[in-house]
Every structure is written in C-alpha cells, then in structure tokens.
Copies of this chain bind each other. A is one copy, B any other.
Amino acid sequence: MEKGLLIVLSGPSGTGKGTVCKALLKKHPEIALSVSCTTRPPRAGEVHGKHYFFMDREDFEKRIAEGAFLEYANVFSNFYGTPRGFVEETLAQGKDVLLEIDVQGALQVKESAPDGVFIFLIPPSMEELEKRIRSRATETEEKIRERLGKANAEMSLMDKYDYVIVNDEVDRVVEKIESILTAEKLSVKRRKISNERSDVK
C-alpha cells in the first residue's frame, strides 16, 4: 500500500495556522490530525485523545527517553510532544496525517521525518500580522512586541520548508494545499521512496 503523506503546517504565530487546519480537515475528513501529548492539565472542555493526550511528567520523560516523540518542547514548564507512533502507524495505513506546529517544532520534525511535506504559512504582510496579533488583545504591549520580534525572526526560516503559502483567504489556502498534496503524490521522488519500500519487503 502507498504510504500516506505527513503534512506539516507551520509558520509564525498569528499567521492563522489553526483556522486553515480546521478548514482543511472539515473539507477532507479523510486526513488524520496528529494529536499532541502534554503534561499540562486539561482545560475545561478539553477531551483526552481529541485535543491532547494528557499525561504526567514522569510518563512524558520516559517516552522522551524511548524516542517516542517526533518532536517535543518544554513551554512554561509544561511538556508538549508529537507522538511518533500514531503518525507512523497512520501513514503506514495509507492515510495522510496533518501536523499543525510552530516553527521550531516543524524543524525538529524535519530531522526525523524528512519526507514530510513542509508548508510555511505567512501573513499577507507584517503589518497584517501585527494587526492580527493585536486584535487578540489579551496581551500586554511588551508581550505583543516580543511575539512580533519572534515572528520576524521565524520568517527567515522559510527556506527550510518545501512550500510557502500567503494566508490571504482561508478557502484559497486550502485549495493550494490540495494542489500541493496532489502534486506530491504524482512526484517521481515519492514514487522512488515508495518503490524502495516495496523492494525491501
């Protein structure tokens, strides 16, 4: 069976990854969303196995040691990680897997899964990004400046990705992602990867 594609959707915070992800999954329920593990306690309404796999720190660290994460990070003393098992098993079943992740995480994933499709989402302009970040309005001016500085720095990592999409309109972005997935499945590079796999068996 042909392996699924690992679709890594990333970009600076405020570029609208979450919205695009939701729209893509709604239009393509056949794509599986990768669910992260975390040590942070569940918030109201969050469902184990849907929003996150919740686990304690000891369990998480054991899994790190076992190499069970495609990537992980420690944010404000809480661990977050992408479980390798789910991703690999789902891909092996021929299903595509979507990973929505920040820039640092995506680059970590690229180390362990270089044949993923790495898509970088950018705002129409840095002014628009500032507007979007400010419109959330839950943060102090200092925090906002910090986020903007980080976003600016992350923009320079675009070159590490396979594709760049300007997030001007969600539906158009989803169509572009559809085209990318179609093209990737027609690419000789992927035929070679999958032929090599069948040769091994």
Q: List residues of chain A with CB under 8 Å of any chain B CB.
A: 120, 158-159, 161-165, 176, 178-180, 182-184, 186-189, 191-192
Return the contact of A183 from the options B158, B184, B188, B192 (Cβ within 8 A).
B184
The answer to whether residues A120 and B163 also contact, given A179-B179, A180-B183, A182-B176 and a CB cut-off of 8 A, is no
Once the chains bind, are A183 and B159 in contact (CB under 8 Å)? no
Identity of the chain B residue whose Cβ is nearest the Cβ of A166 in the assembled complex:
B186
Once the chains bind, are A186 and B191 in contact (CB under 8 Å)? no
**List of B residues within 8 angstroms of A176 by Cβ:** 182-183, 186
Once the chains bind, are B159 and A188 in contact (CB under 8 Å)? yes
**List of B residues within 8 angstroms of A182 by Cβ:** 176, 179-180, 183
**List of B residues within 8 angstroms of A163 by Cβ:** 183, 186-188
- A/B interface sample: 18 pairs, CB < 8 A: A158-B191, A159-B188, A159-B192, A162-B187, A162-B189, A163-B186, A163-B187, A163-B188, A165-B186, A176-B183, A178-B179, A179-B182, A179-B183, A179-B186, A180-B183, A180-B186, A182-B183, A183-B183
